Amino acid sequence: MSAATTGSIDMSTAILIRVEQSGKGDFKKIQDAIDSVPSNNSELVFIWVKPGTYSREKIVVPADKPFITLSGTQPSDTIITWNDGGNIMESPTLTVLASDFVGRYLTIQNTFGSAGKAVALRVSGDRAAFYGCRILSYQDTLLDDTGSHYYSNCYIEGATDFICGNAASLFERCHLHSISTNNGSITAQHRNLASENTGLVFLGCKITGAGTTFLGRPWGAYSRVLYAFTYMSGVIAPAGWDDWADPSKHSTVFYAEYKCYGPGADRSKRVGWSQSLSNDDAAPLLTKDMIGGSSWLRPAPTSFKRGSTIIKPGSKL
């Protein structure tokens, strides 16, 4: 975020838009609420999605509509769902193309099943953050496509490459759940060049599952993934990492673990081309600085406005 952009945005107050299927809100559909935001928006917009299952629309946040927050109250009762597969760019239930997006307390799912690629959430905008969301599918659940992203306390479920893409992302205190019955993969990070400052860091996370899974496999030759302070259940295959049948990538990938624990964290049978990091090597990767977060992660707004009326905390929304 540039200094000029930061200076023009009041981070404490957001325009409130309510979505409620009963018709008591401003809109019945989430996409209609997003469409109501002006192009090249320069104010925080908080779209409050009331409880319900929103299943009749694919949702896109266009690139020219930054600074939108899409928020439920808790993911168990605010569910955005679709059923499409085949193309990772076209199948997502929710696609975020805009910068400075925030998603909060939502379930985002694709119920296409195990027949092929089916993305629940595609994040292709820069500076996107997700808090307390549930992201569910089978293959390619989260297309963490491009940009700098932050995921906090999210639950992410899938079987095959279910966190994939070429963003620079930090996952903090997230729960990763594999539903693969045999030899799935949690990540397929797509870094293609050594010069790209992209990769996935999982910090203080938890991995559970139903069968066996690898920590990752290289979609790109310079794929980069780190798990740190992460609980690994026995679901993790002893080898830990898969080379996608391409041994040439052994010398170019960066696959590492740091102070992980649990039955799946035993490194005695790990592939030799993965590493256990030293304190010094791990330190720069274990803060929000690796995604530049100190300059763009923002707290939730403290007041809202509808038209010219300011709604203070504690007021009835």
HEC secondary structure over 234-296: CCECCCCECCCCCHHHHHCCEEEEECCECHHHCCCCCCCCCEECCHHHHHHHCCHHHHCHHHC
According to the model, what pLDDT value does residue 10 have?
85
Per-residue pLDDT for 309 more than 70?
Answer: no
Q: How confident is the model at residue 124 (pLDDT cuts 50, 70, 90)?
A: very high
When pLDDT is averaged across residues 203-224 and rounded to a whole number, the result is 97
Q: How confident is the model at residue 57 (pLDDT cuts 50, 70, 90)?
A: confident
The residues facing 236 across adjacent strands are 213
According to the model, what pLDDT value does residue 90 have?
96
According to the model, what pLDDT value does residue 308 have?
57
Q: Which residue has the higher pLDDT, 267 or 310?
A: 267
Q: Strands 59-61, 52-54: parallel, antiparallel or unpaired by DSSP?
A: unpaired
According to the model, what pLDDT value does residue 3 have?
34
Q: Strands 142-144, 199-203: parallel, antiparallel or unpaired by DSSP?
A: unpaired
| Percentage of the chain modeled with pLDDT above 70 | 94
| pTM for the whole structure | 0.95
Q: With the C-alpha atoms ordered 131, 171, 127, 8, is the resulting torsion angle positive or negative?
A: positive
**pLDDT tens, residue by residue, 241-298:** 999 999 999 999 999 999 999 999 999 999 999 999 999 999 999 999 989 999 999 9
Determine the length of the chain.
317
**pLDDT tens, residue by residue, 130-154:** 999 999 999 999 999 999 999 999 9
Per-residue pLDDT for 106 more than 80?
Answer: yes
According to the model, what pLDDT value does residue 239 have?
98
Give catalytic residue positions: 140, 161
Per-residue pLDDT for 186 more than 60?
Answer: yes
**pLDDT tens, residue by residue, 148-177:** 999 999 999 999 999 999 999 999 999 999
Per-residue pLDDT for 56 more than 90?
Answer: no
Select from 102, 97, 94 the least CA-distant residue to 71: 102
Query: 72-296 domain in CATH 2.160.20.10?
Result: yes
According to the model, what pLDDT value does residue 7 have?
53
Mean pLDDT taken over the chain: 94
According to the model, what pLDDT value does residue 313 have?
55
Per-residue pLDDT for 317 more than 80?
Answer: no
According to the model, what pLDDT value does residue 64 have?
97
According to the model, what pLDDT value does residue 9 have?
84
Q: Which residue shows structure tokens 């049948």?
A: 245
Per-residue pLDDT for 206 more than 80?
Answer: yes
According to the model, what pLDDT value does residue 4 have?
35
Select from 9, 120, 156 the least CA-distant residue to 69: 9
**pLDDT tens, residue by residue, 76-99:** 999 999 999 999 999 999 999 999
| Percentage of the chain modeled with pLDDT above 90 | 91
Q: How confident is the model at residue 1 (pLDDT cuts 50, 70, 90)?
A: very low
Spans of all domains in the chain: 72-296
